[in-house]
Amino acid sequence: MTSIAPHTPALTSRLPKVGTTIFTVMSALATEHGAVNLGQGFPDFHCDPALLDAVTQAMQAGHNQYPPMPGALALRQAMASKMQALYGLACDPATEITVTAGATQAILTAILAVVQPGDEVIVLEPCYDSYVPNIELAGGVAVRVPLTPGSFRPDFDRIAAAITPRTRALLINSPHNPSGMVWSETDMRRLEAMLAPTDVLLISDEVYEHMVFDGQAHQSAARFPGLAARAFIVSSFGKTYHVTGWKIGTVVAPAPLTAEFRKVHQFNVFTVNTPMQHALAAYMADPAPYLELAAFYQRKRDLFREGLATTRFRLLPGEGTYFQCVDISNLAVPERDLPEGDFCQWLTREIGVAAIPLSAFYGDGFDQRVVRFCFAKKDETLREGIKRLASL
């Protein structure tokens, strides 16, 4: 019998520039060196036991088969009530809210639903690392517009200049990962006026919506009729309830946009974990956990910032999210002269604290001597990290 040699066909990559994410690299390095992992954005503490009990109750009640494709109705109704109460947006849970497998899937699905090959999508850098690959998978063209270095505030003149007849969508993120910047009401009204004469869609990544500090309010696109009418508004239960591994989020959008969104959604995930949806719906009956989240994380932010203030890092503003950025320019030579990525690897190996370089959030690797820490950690984790960083 003739032996047939195994042969794996060669591929032309859909994402030739994509490798292992910086978050995976730094977390692996942190584990290897026993470092305090303040790099990847996930809590190292447990969620509310009542939420876990609600999952068990949902499973025992028989919620173990496929839910409806758009998500369990109870959860969509709970989200509709929340959007009305917090942002004044009346949305129909039957036609305007979809439960997703986390925010990353939500954003990809929105882009695949509306972006045709050759369409342009504006992203504001530094931006989360999934945005541009999502656009490229849809055959779109990412148009990168930088946020103002240092403050990371939107530069509306540059955004307006980037809009062309081929612009299909603009992707914004507030509170902003990685910088912690929060869009103001003035920013959102300016955006609303700028987009008004166009057919540009808005994808508003609001996964840190409940982490806005110092008495500020989250300015959701839902608050502004001119934006809500053209927006996919993305939220994350994982971020809000300290269960990032559950990968459950929602998208709120007008019915015509939701209809197109669901056409894609039903063929990439179809639907999302059933008992967890019912558990979240029951848990949301009490709004206190998300209404109190800002105070919870502001206390951690303040603890972390007070500790960092004793180091040679220069603190940048931290208006929201659970991230704190610092400028490394004041550190001793030669560490301060290392590129951000090399500095973060050195910091992990030699000091025992993992961070993320901001250059990883730019397409061209723009290096401005800034790195990002995550403070969604136990107080003892933060104190140990500060203790190690104080040795610099």
pLDDT value at position 257? 98
pLDDT digits (tens, 9 = 90+) for 34-60: 999 999 899 999 999 999 999 999 999
Q: In the predicted model, is pLDDT for residue 335 greater than 80?
A: no
Model pTM score:
0.96
What is d(CA 216, CA 187) in angstroms, rounded to the nearest whole number?
14
Helix residue spans in the chain (DSSP H) = 22-33, 49-60, 73-87, 102-114, 131-137, 156-162, 185-195, 225-228, 237-240, 255-268, 274-283, 288-291, 293-308, 340-346, 379-389
Identify the structural domains of the chain with CATH numbers, from first to last.
22-41+291-389 (3.90.1150.10), 49-285 (3.40.640.10)
CA-based Rg of the chain, rounded to a whole angstrom? 21
Neighbours of 291 (CB within 10 A): 12
CB-count exposure of residue 280 (10 Å: 0-12, 13-18, 19+)? buried
| pLDDT on residue 260 | 98
The overall longest dimension of the chain from CA atoms, in Å, is 77
Confidence of residue 333 (pLDDT cuts 50, 70, 90): low
First to last CA, the chain: 68
At 118-165, the pLDDT tens digits run 999 999 999 999 999 999 999 999 999 999 998 999 999 999 999 999
> Is the pLDDT score of 63 beyond 90?
yes
User: For residue 371, what are its two tokens?
Assistant: 């790195």
pLDDT for res 55? 98
- Report the half-sphere exposure of 90 (CA within 13 A, side-chain side): 0
Q: What is the pLDDT of residue 1?
A: 67
pLDDT at residue 13 in the model:
93
What rounded mean pLDDT belongs to the chain? Answer: 96
What's CA 177's distance to the chain center, in Å?
6
Q: What's the pLDDT score for residue 337?
A: 82
Which pLDDT belongs to residue 207?
98
How much is the average pLDDT of 363-375?
Answer: 96
Q: What's the angle, vertex CA 348, arms to CA 364 and CA 31, rounded to 5?
A: 110
pLDDT reported for residue 20: 81
Q: Using the predicted structure, report yes or no on whether residue 61 has a pLDDT greater than 80.
A: yes
Query: d(Cα 249, Cα 280) in Å, to the nearest integer?
Result: 11
Per-residue tokens: 231: 């927006």
